[in-house]
Amino acid sequence: MGGVVADDRTTTEFTSEIPAIVTQGLTRQFGRVTALNKVSLVVPSGTVLGLLGPNGSGKTTLLSILAGFIAPTAGNFQLLGQSDHSEALARTGSLISRPLLWPHLTCRDNLRCVQGITGGESDMDEVDRLLAEVGLDGSATNRKFGQCSTGMRQRLGIATALLGKPDLLLLDEPTTGLDPEGMVEIRNLIRELGNAPGRSIIMSSHLLHEVELTCDHYAIIFRGNLVDQGPLTNTPPPASAVQLNTTDNKRALDCLVNKGWTASTNSRDTVQHQSLLVEIQPGAEWKVARDLAEFGIYPSDMRPSEPTRFTGSLEGKYLAAVGRGEVEGVQQE
Ligand SMILES: Nc1ncnc2c1ncn2[C@@H]1O[C@H](COP(=O)(O)OP(=O)(O)OP(=O)(O)O)[C@@H](O)[C@H]1O
């Protein structure tokens, strides 16, 4: 696979103070369905942000609004620091659905056609550079699109998004439908693309580990609501966790969070159903019990939790955010 052409400067030097994207109260109705509900998201410049959420949570809707394909019902957003999006959209590349190109044309001719359609001059240097960048150089260049594998088609789709050297890339589930090897290749490609100076990327995914492997920021969207966002740090998992139940888990969760505990509903708990999971240091169960007792809440059941349920990981953040959404009754209207 060809590498991304980058100069000596580091990404950090290019990281602008101006975020790549700022949305304020972004809302989109489809009839009675609220696909997106007052989403206020910040994507720092120069980052690769993973937009996580279960099926139907609003990821495609958000990306489609940012790409200028559909309008929000309410709210607004700045793209590359600009509220007037036309200029910023010229610096934005997107791959929102599967690439639908011409099956009887080669990869090279397909890319050249898209270059023409999107207003670029015929620039074969750019076409060949992009084919190399996404790993479609060599014999792949002249393969007909209809004879390409799903992974190759996806690469060509990404190449179309890269036309015009965009500063911002919007990729909707770029690894969906690929075999494991193809997934790894596309993830590596996205990481490489994200290393280009000043470039920001949002990729949606419903795979936690994919976002962990590929991205440096995350945002979690649940039933149209943004429930968490932040940087992805490689913090080691906490030493321990405890699972507990009370007569009012919703109130107990609020109390624990107020007391500074990292706690969530344990949605993997198929036995106790919606018990709580609290991140603790070994032997600190008594502190949790003490803090709950302050609110007159007494755990009916406390037990050590499996290590995979630790809440410091992205999985923990996801379960906590989705758990909060469920506890708070986040709904699609
Ligand atoms: N054009 C449309 N007309 C009606 N409802 C729509 C339309 N587009 C999306 N929706 C609804 O909006 C909600 C969010 O859909 P969206 O496709 O944005 O979610 P998603 O997170 O991208 O899901 P997936 O991972 O399955 O692609 C869903 O309830 C969906 O049915």
pLDDT tens, residue order, the chain (333 aa): 333 333 333 333 444 579 999 999 999 999 999 999 999 999 999 999 999 998 899 999 999 999 999 999 999 999 999 998 989 999 999 999 877 799 999 999 999 999 998 876 778 889 999 999 999 988 999 999 999 998 899 999 999 999 989 999 999 999 888 888 888 889 999 999 999 888 999 999 988 888 888 999 999 999 999 998 999 876 555 567 888 999 999 899 999 988 888 888 765 554 555 788 888 887 889 999 999 999 999 999 898 875 443 445 677 778 777 776 665 555 544
| C-alpha distances in Å from residue 241, one per residue of 27, 232, 255, 262 | 37, 21, 17, 10
- Closest among 234, 161, 238 to 201, alpha carbons compared: 161
Are 99 and 153 spatial neighbours (Cβ–Cβ below 8 Å)?
yes
Residue-level pLDDT at 13: 41
61 lines ligand 1 (CB under 6 A): yes
Among 37, 52, 61, 330, residue to substitute to test ligand 1 (most atoms within 8 Å of Cβ): 61
- Closest among 146, 62, 156, 49 to 103, alpha carbons compared: 146
Does this model's pTM top 0.90? My answer is no
Among 39, 57, 171, 331, residue to substitute to test ligand 1 (most atoms within 8 Å of Cβ): 57
60 lines ligand 1 (CB under 6 A): yes
* Ligand 1 centre distance from Cα of residue 304 (Å): 38
The count of other CB atoms within 10 Å of the CB of residue 297 is 18
ipTM given for this complex:
0.96
Residue-level pLDDT at 104: 96
64 lines ligand 1 (CB under 6 A): no
Q: Please tell me the residue having the least CA distance from ligand 1 atom 28.
A: 56
Q: What is the 3-state secondary structure (H, E, C) of 63-118?
A: HHHHCCCCCCCEEEEEECCECCHHHHHHCEEEECCCCCCCCCCEHHHHHHHHHHHC
Among 27, 29, 30, 206, residue to substitute to test ligand 1 (most atoms within 8 Å of Cβ): 30
56 lines ligand 1 (CB under 6 A): yes
Residue-level pLDDT at 182: 83
Ligand 1: atom nearest CA of 221 is: 21
Residue-level pLDDT at 279: 85
Q: Is the alpha carbon torsion for 20, 24, 29, 34 positive or negative?
A: positive
Q: Please tell me the residue having the least CA distance from ligand 1 atom 4.
A: 30
C-alpha 270/C-alpha 274 separation (Å) is 8
Find residue 278's DSSP bridge partners: 242, 263
CA 323 to chain centre: 18
Residue-level pLDDT at 2: 33
47 lines ligand 1 (CB under 6 A): no
287 lines ligand 1 (CB under 6 A): no
Q: What is the number of H-type helices and E-type strands within the chain?
A: 11, 14
33 lines ligand 1 (CB under 6 A): yes
Residue-level pLDDT at 166: 93
223 lines ligand 1 (CB under 6 A): no
Residue-level pLDDT at 23: 97
59 lines ligand 1 (CB under 6 A): yes
